[in-house]
Amino acid sequence: MGTAKTYIVVMNSLYILFVCLILMLSCSDQSQTYPNLSVSENHRHFLIGQGQWLGELSIKKNKKIPFNFEVKKDSVFIINSEERIGAKISSHEDSIRIKIPVFDSELRFIKTRIGLKGYWYNNTKTRQKLPFFASLNQKGEKHRFNVSDNSSHNLYSGNWETTFSKGTENEYKSLAVFYQDKGFAKGTFITETGDYRFLQGNVCNDSIFLSCFDGAHAFLFEASLIDSVIHGVFYSGLQWSEPWVSFKNDSFALTDPYLLTQQEPRKKLEFTFPNIKGGSLSYPNKRFNNKVVIIQIFGSWCPNCVDETMFFAALYEQYQHKGLEIIGLAFESPKKLSDKIGRVKDLKSHTGSRYEFLIAGNASKKEAQKVLPFLNRVSSFPTTIFIDKSGVVRKIHTGFYGPGTGGHYAKYTAEVDALVKSLLNE
């Protein structure tokens, strides 16, 4: 067994090296060049220069994850396709800092003659830090990767059946949805446990480059189209990389997310957890009698969960007066209860959510399964339980199709809206 695993690891490494060589040969991804200017000369009364910037996070030798951001006064807006993540820029004795909302991470840097130089600190992942550099972006936000803009054919637009880590014990399926407009590209990968949110990048000849930085994750996807099959490599942060292959298939569908998690037939749905106000809350109790209840299993560190919380905040405002209640069960990274509460309070404030939040445990699917034994499995954050007025579980949904999935997000949120209306009218 050990020999087989070693063989798989070696073959995966050779595959990744092969794809990288193809990409290098097929498209000139040249070293970034920076304008010879002093950012301090651009709007001296603000902390950094105004306008469009191109940032990059270094993950390996000659391998960087680019992202766009715009500076307006002393605010910054991180750009991933249609997504805009707003944050404040602050000055400290040793650096300038951008604290990413909700997620426990920040960009910490100094100004140099050619740009901004420092690190991205991701405190939720054992204080991982990645080298960060940024320069003023003269080309505009649609130019993320420094590749020649010579793609006139929309090779990548459409739906692609995708397999990550094919042939290994870690193999899993995904639906890739891409949109290409000549040299500009965007899209996402949808899996059975969520999606990779808003990806943006460029196409050069038959190669595609996509990335995302949202403060919680830093993703890079590189691939080439060879004989109608996409061969690519996915990089996440400093450590993770895996191969993926795709072929166009408009009829491909993932497993129904309502079938992945079920209630254990002989176990009652009940729990008691501390809330974020210093007390505790149990379910069931009289407060929820004759109410439609949504139980959200989530973590504030999870971008898909933040997307879902934004949706639920609006849903609660719309239907709370008609009898809808939502309980968020948070599984958080900090060890101390007070720190877990602080993370959830940040999420609550950021999303404007007024529904109930409880601290259920640590950020672990195994722990979630342990403290929620009425479920046969917890395979994803988020997982959502829909309960009718009589306390019967009607549906359980694994994962969340966020706004980066386009039509899939619109379809799922419309389904949830219709389900809640139907349960309230029973």
From residue 423, alpha-carbon distances to 16, 263, 383, 393, 418 in Å are 49, 19, 19, 11, 9
H/E element, 200: strand 199-204
Cα separation, 414 vs 412, whole angstroms: 5
Tokens 């999420």 correspond to what residue? 347
Quick one: average pLDDT of 133-140? 91
CATH code: domain 2-29+148-248 is 2.40.128.120
What's the whole-model pTM score?
0.88
Cβ atoms within 10 Å of 112's Cβ, excluding its own: 15
* pLDDT bucket at 124, cuts 50 / 70 / 90: confident
Quick one: average pLDDT of 368-379? 96
Beta strands 240-248 and 271-274, pairing class: unpaired
Report the pLDDT value the prediction gives residue 135, as an integer from 0 to 100. Answer: 95
Report the pLDDT value the prediction gives residue 20, as an integer from 0 to 100. Answer: 56
Closest CA to 125 of 241, 239, 296: 239
Do 271-424 and 39-136 fall under one CATH topology?
no
237, pLDDT greater than 90 = no
* pLDDT bucket at 60, cuts 50 / 70 / 90: confident
374, pLDDT greater than 90 = yes
Q: What is the residue type of 31?
A: S
Report the pLDDT value the prediction gives residue 222, as an integer from 0 to 100. Answer: 97
Quick one: average pLDDT of 40-56? 80
Cα separation, 133 vs 146, whole angstroms: 15
Q: Interior CA angle at 23 toward 18 and 25, to 5°?
A: 95
Report the pLDDT value the prediction gives residue 46, as an integer from 0 to 100. Answer: 87
Instruction: Encode pLDDT of 314-343 as tens digits.
Output: 999 999 999 999 999 999 999 999 999 999
Tell me which architecture the domain covering 39-136 has in CATH: Beta Barrel (2.40)
Report the pLDDT value the prediction gives residue 5, as an integer from 0 to 100. Answer: 45
Closest CA to 171 of 8, 291, 314: 8
Quick one: average pLDDT of 174-180? 97
DSSP string, 99-142: EPSSSSEEEEEEE-SSSEEEEEEETTTTTEEEEEEEEE-SS-TT
H/E element, 212: strand 207-213
Q: Are 34 and 115 in contact (CB under 8 A)?
A: yes
DSSP string, 132-195: EEEEE-SS-TT--S-------S--S-EEEEEEESTTSTT-EEEEEEEEEETTEEEEEEEETTEE
Instruction: Encode pLDDT of 74-92 as tens digits.
Output: 999 999 999 999 999 999 9
Cα separation, 355 vs 312, whole angstroms: 9
25, pLDDT greater than 60 = no
Quick one: average pLDDT of 40-55? 79
36, pLDDT greater than 50 = no
Of the ranges 41-50, 107-116, 297-306, which one carries the lowest mean pLDDT score?
41-50
Q: 158: which 2 tokens? A: 């459409």
11, pLDDT greater than 70 = no
Q: Give me the chain's average pLDDT, please.
A: 89
Domain boundaries along the sequence of the chain: 2-29+148-248, 39-136, 271-424
Instruction: Encode pLDDT of 392-407 as tens digits.
Output: 999 999 999 999 999 9
Q: Are 247 and 178 in contact (CB under 8 A)?
A: no
CATH fold for domain 271-424: Glutaredoxin (3.40.30)
Cα separation, 400 vs 238, whole angstroms: 26
Report the pLDDT value the prediction gives residue 30, as an integer from 0 to 100. Answer: 41
Report the pLDDT value the prediction gives residue 26, as an integer from 0 to 100. Answer: 53
Report the pLDDT value the prediction gives residue 2, as an integer from 0 to 100. Answer: 44
Helix 337-351 vs helix 303-319: angle between axes, to the nearest 10 degrees? 60
